[in-house]
Amino acid sequence: MIPLHDEKSARPAQAASPTGLQDKEPPRSLVGCDLRERGLCRLASAIAATHFGIEIEAIGRPYRSDAATCDARHVAIYLAHVVFQIPLGRTGEAFGRDRSSIAYAIRKIEDRRDDAHFDAMIGRLEALAHSIGDVVGATGEPGR
């Protein structure tokens, strides 16, 4: 018999899968998006996390973070929307944020592009995302 609750907590127990591993619900940040969009948002997050020198998991955390993590999250959101053309609502679903937070992040990046150094950095990250996207067939703009 499978217990209805863990003995240590009041949470429902998870049944073991045929492989012996527990089935887990997908992270909140991935519910509602299709597989392609999830992969592209993960790719945008990996590019931003690598550039800012943070762990990719930090970008998807549901709570406030330090400035570098927020900057990386905003850049990842920007790349997902601008380069990979994922609509605001779907980008929000992938990052576990609402549509207005996604629009705010994109505006923040666009406003900061007035600074030549920041604009050059974003341009390089966009070029990298386009190049990777071309290889995996994500951008639909070969040769860009």
Q: Is the pTM of this model over 0.75?
A: no
The secondary structure of residue 57, as a DSSP letter, is H
Give the angle 43-123-89 at the CA atoms, nearest 5°: 50
> 31-136, superfamily in CATH?
DnaA protein, C-terminal DNA-binding domain (1.10.1750.10)
**Dihedral angle sign, alpha carbons of residues 42, 135, 75, 37:** negative
pLDDT at 9 exceeding the cut of 70: no
Task: Check residue 139 and give its pLDDT.
Answer: 58
The domain ranges of the chain are: 31-136
Closest C-alpha among 97, 78, 105, 100 to residue 33? 97
Q: Please say whether the beta carbons of 80 and 74 come within 8 A.
A: no
Percent of the chain with pLDDT over 70: 72
143: three-class secondary structure by DSSP: coil
3-12, 24-33, 34-43 — most confident range: 34-43
Q: Among 11-15, 58-62, 67-71, 72-76, which stretch is predicted with the lowest mean pLDDT?
A: 11-15
